[in-house]
Structure formats: C-alpha cells, structure tokens
C-alpha cells in the first residue's frame, strides 16, 4: 500500500490522482479530518482508506503496520508563510515529519517528504540543493524554518542517504482552491480577471526590479508531481532535491499568460507592497536543477504559457477538480 499525507490538499491530491492514472488505488489517504473543505479534492479520486493525521501517526508507530507501506509521500504540513505560532509549526511540521521518517526507516518503507524553497530565505546564499551547505541557509519566516529544521536533523542523524526531502518552489495548478490566501497567483489572478478584468500586483520597492518584475521559479503541479513520483520509481536516489522549473520568470509574464488563456489583453494595476511583507519578500527565486538532472531525471518541463493555459481552461474556468 502507498500512503499520502496531506492527501486532501494541493500536492497530495495531485499525487493521488497521478497514482490513479497509473491504475493504483491501494492508497491510504491521510489528512486532518473528513469533512474539511479540501476533501472536495478527493471526491472523484479512488483510494482504499482514509485516516486522520493523529490516527495515522499512531498507526505508523506500530512496526507491523509500517511494514505494510511501500511508500509514504508525506505532503501534510501547515504551509502558511505568515503563521506566527512557532510551537505549532515545530510540532506539526518538524516533529510529525521526524516521527514518520523514523517509523519508515525502521520498517524499510520509502519516505518522500516535502521541504520548501522557503528554506532559501532571500536567496542571497543561492538556491543550491547541495546538502553540505544547508546549514548556511536563513529562512525568512517560521514556516521555512520548520522545513529547514527537518533537513538539518536528517543530515545530522545521517538519514539523507535513505530518505528524500523535496524543496518545492512556486507550485501552481489544479486543486488549490481550499488554500485561501496561499493559493497561487494563477488561481487568484484568474479570479480577479473574472471579477474586474484586471489583476493587481505589488509594486517593487527595489530599484533593480521594475513593477511586476519580481521573479519566481513557477512550476506546474503536474511537473512537480512527476518529479516527486520519480523518486519512488528510483529508490537508489536519496537526499535533498529542488523541485522547480529551473527558470526564473517575472510576475508580468505569468499574468500575461493568464490573460492569453482567456483571450484578453493584459490589464495590470500595481499596488504598494504591504508593510508586513517588506524585508520578507523574495524578489528572485530560481531552482538549481542540475543535481536532479544529474541523477537521471530527464523529462522536459511544461512551458509556462502552456501550463497556465491547461490550468485555466481545463480546471479553473470550468471549476473542475482532478478526476471530475
């Protein structure tokens, strides 16, 4: 059996969908509790059993149960970059991940977990997934630190040769409606276009970047999941890896792709950067993908405009979840 935590969430439900595409339905899905809004993401997908987060943690603590698992995709976490409760993030993101990792290692179960590009902070130290340099990173928020804490622990304990920790960059795509303000700008931008015909972006407060010229490594969720599942197919490959497109694109290009997908001319309004984001806003992210490519992953990335068009036309516009 395969387990997916955070299965009702964004990346988790995309993994369940992709497993279904492979004909796999013996899946144990794990999330906070049945009835959450995100469970709409699972409504059209096939799986064998649903456990709450707490029940799954207890279940995995039994080595007999843990040995039933072929692979655990641990995508469950608080992903809010504005969360201020450090104790909650430590418990939910670090301790929970550490405990599941130890259960999987004891049982010989493949463990693939979600780290984050938020661990790279302002990017001044680069975006290399070289494990010998992770202690140099300085996340800008508590969420990023909670992910960094697991990576540091796994390295210190000598586990990185047996587990996979994936630093996801700016992932966007189907099944993110439930994320509220943490939805991608493709999702929020499409809604703005529908409502007003215009998209609002933050002005730049750094002279080297024009308004809307702030850059991100945008990666389509279908590509991100393909990379994630590649590690299950290649158990000989372990460690910390970036999951991104390997290309920095600015917000203006991304928003232009949304307007192109709905056959409209771009109309962008630039608004002041909120005070609470100044000094904590990433102006440039770009995943170094040479490590993953060097280990054998050779599938092409979806071109930004093609990915946005697929998302908008086949999922956002019709309001369609994966599998529906």
Catalytic residues: 143, 179
Sheet holding 49-52, edge to edge: 49-52, 27-31, 2-5, 71-74, 110-116, 164-168, 239-243
Encoded tokens for 145? 């630190």
Distances in Å between the alpha carbon of 210 and those of 140, 186, 190, 214, 248? 22, 20, 22, 7, 15
What is the CA angle 170-316-251, rounded to 5?
A: 35
Helices of type H across 108-220: 142-156, 185-196
Q: Do residues 223 and 246 lie in contact, with contact meaning Cβ atoms separated by under 8 Å? A: no
SS3 (DSSP) at 135: helix
Residue 279 CB contacts under 8 Å (≥ 6 apart), including other chains: none
Nearest to 239, CA basis, from 151, 146, 144, 298: 151
- Helix 53-61 × helix 96-107 angle, to 10°: 40
Query: What SS3 state is found at 146?
Result: helix
Residue with tokens 């099944």: 175
Distances (CA, A) of 166 to 67, 194, 231, 243, 259: 23, 34, 10, 6, 31
């Amino acid at each position: 059996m395969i387990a997916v935590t955070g299965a009702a969430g964004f990346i988790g439900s995309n993994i369940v969908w992709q497993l279904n595409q492979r004909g796999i339905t013996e899946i144990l899905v794990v999330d906070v509790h049945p009835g959450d809004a995100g469970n709409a993401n699972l409504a059209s997908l096939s799986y064998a059993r649903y456990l709450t987060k707490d029940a799954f943690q207890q279940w995995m603590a039994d080595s007999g149960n843990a040995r039933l698992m072929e692979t655990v995709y641990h995508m469950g976490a608080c992903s809010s970059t504005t969360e201020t409760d450090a104790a909650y993030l430590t418990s939910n993101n670090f301790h929970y991940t550490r405990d599941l990792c130890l259960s999987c290692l004891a049982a010989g179960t493949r463990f693939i977990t979600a780290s984050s590009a938020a661990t790279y902070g302002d990017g001044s130290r680069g975006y290399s997934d070289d494990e010998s340099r992770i202690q140099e990173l300085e996340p800008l928020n508590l969420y990023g630190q909670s992910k960094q804490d697991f990576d540091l622990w796994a390295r210190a304990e000598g586990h990185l040769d047996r587990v996979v920790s994936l630093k996801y960059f700016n992932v966007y795509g189907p099944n993110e409606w439930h994320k509220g303000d943490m939805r991608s700008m493709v999702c929020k931008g499409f809604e703005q276009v529908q409502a007003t015909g215009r998209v609002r972006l933050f002005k730049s407060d750094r002279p080297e970047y024009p308004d809307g010229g702030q850059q991100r490594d945008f990666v389509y969720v279908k590509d991100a999941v393909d990379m994630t599942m590649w590690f299950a197919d290649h158990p000989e490959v372990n460690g910390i890896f970036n999951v991104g497109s390997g290309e920095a694109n600015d917000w203006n290009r991304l928003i232009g792709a949304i307007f192109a997908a709905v056959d409209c001319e771009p109309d962008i309004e630039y608004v002041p950067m909120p005070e609470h984001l100044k000094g904590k806003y990433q102006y440039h992210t770009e995943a170094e993908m040479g490590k993953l490519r060097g280990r054998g992953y050779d599938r092409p990335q979806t071109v930004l405009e093609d990915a946005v068009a697929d998302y908008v036309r086949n999922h956002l516009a019709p309001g369609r979840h994966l599998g529906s």
